[in-house]
Structure 1
Amino acid sequence: MKYACLVYGDEGALATINDRECAAYGQEITASGHYQSGQPLMPVATATTVRVRQGKVSVTDGPFAETREQLAGFYLIEARDLNEAIRIASEIPPARVGSIEIRPLRELDVES
């Protein structure tokens, strides 16, 4: 099953994690066959939020919600089950200063 591992944290704390360490971890889980995709995100100040309500488009600078922790990036992994996904996510370097949300991916039901 595929899981998204969403990396959250305070941008200042996340900046203390070296990019080389994250790249090395990416290589490690690629070699193990778990890595599907992943990418860090630009800082939250570059975010734009789009909403459509009653047919009207609203564009707001910044993220959807004001929080202390921001979405910083993601890893898309392949894991046997949630337990294996938890083990893999626990080794993602930013987990030491932020949090990793694990969410299974779902396929769109286009047959209905």
Structure 2
Amino acid sequence: MKYLILIHANPESRAIWDGLPADERAAGLAAYARLDDDLAATGELLASEALTDPARTKRLVLRDGQATTTDGPFAETKEQLAGFYLVDCPDLDRAVEIAWRIPEARLGLVEVRPVRDLADFAP
């Protein structure tokens, strides 16, 4: 089954990261590299990406037939998507186990969500 592991950031978690000594930031990045390598070796990694600054976001809205595109993330959100893993593993327990290896999980900013099979949409 496929699971999307969403990594969220907010100004507080960003400040914590920015305040870490260089060696601790390097250790965090190395943890991501190890996780990528381990999941690739088991065949569970489908994709893993870090996202750029939310200020570079384009928001698309269609209202009353009028399409608009604006800059920046949703103003209402405090946390923003910082990256993700798409994994294919046996069950939710394994997906959660993988998610706990993400450095941001210590700050409570990681979400695991099952991916819907396109067959679920078939009539």
Distance in 2, Cα, partners of 1:52 & 1:34: 37
4+ long deviations beyond 2 Å: 13-21, 64-68, 107-112
For structure 2, which runs of at least 5 residues remain unmatched after alignment? none
The correspondence of residues 25-40 of structure 1 with structure 2, limited to 5 A, is 25-40=35-50
**Equivalent in the alignment of 2:10:** 10
Answer 1 or 2: which has greater helix percent.
Answer: 2
Structure whose CA Rg is larger = 2
1:67 aligned partner: 77
Aligned-pair CA distance for 1:14: 4.9
Aligned pair count reads: 112
- RMSD of equivalent CA atoms: 2.1
The question of whether the paired residues in 1 share the 8 Å contact of 2:95 and 2:112 is answered with: yes
Match of 1:90 in 2: 100
Q: Secondary structure at the match of 1:42?
A: coil
Instruction: State the distance in 2 between where 1:28 and 1:14 align.
Output: 24
Percent of residue pairs bearing the same amino acid type: 38
Tell me the TM-score normalised to structure 1 length. 0.84
Where structure 1 has 5 or more consecutive residues not aligned to the other structure, the ranges are: none
Determine the structure 2 residue equivalent to 1:53: 63
In the superposition, relative to structure 1, how do residues 108 and 70 fare at CA in structure 2: closer, same or farther (>3 Å)? same
Q: State the TM-score, normalized to the length of structure 2.
A: 0.77
Partner of 2:30: 20
After TM superposition, give the deviation of residue 94 of structure 1 in Å.
Answer: 2.0
